[in-house]
Amino acid sequence: MRKLSALMLLVMAALWFLPATLAAQDPPGKTAFLENKCNVCHTIESQAIEKTSKMAGPDLSDAGNLVESAAWLKGFLLKENETEAGKHKKTWSGTDEQLEAIIGWVMGLKKS
């Protein structure tokens, strides 16, 4: 009986803390952004992401207001579209799922 009570207590404690643990996880787009080392060139001040080198990519904190569309951004990251400064400097090497996650997350970044 004690083992069952202890097990029930453990399960209840796990269920109590599970929502807080899930809420603390980063969105998939942010995770993919960091896994693909996009922060070598880009900062996102609004997300406390600093670049890890002296490369000169722009801060993306307001990308959702500045980028024409998700489709355009995808083309830019795949070097199909360009800005006045040219094409994206790095060739995309992540998965399609990571690319879509990054695009969705970055398009949601908007300053007030």
pLDDT at residue 1, as a whole number: 64
pTM: 0.75
pLDDT tens by residue, the chain, 112 residues = 676 566 565 656 556 655 544 446 889 999 999 999 999 999 999 999 998 888 789 999 999 999 999 999 999 999 999 999 999 999 999 999 999 999 999 999 999 7
Phi-psi region of 45 (alpha: psi -120 to 50; beta: other; left: phi over 0): alpha
Buried b / exposed e over 56-78, threshold 16 CB at 10 Å, is ebeebbbbbeebeeeeebbbbbe
As a whole number of angstroms, the distance between CA 71 and CA 103 comes to 9
As a whole number of angstroms, the distance between CA 59 and CA 88 comes to 14
pLDDT at residue 13, as a whole number: 57
As a whole number of angstroms, the distance between CA 62 and CA 95 comes to 24
Domain boundary assignment for the chain: 26-107
**CATH number 1.10.760.10 is the correct assignment for the domain at 26-107:** yes
Radius of gyration over every alpha carbon of the chain, rounded to an integer in angstroms: 20
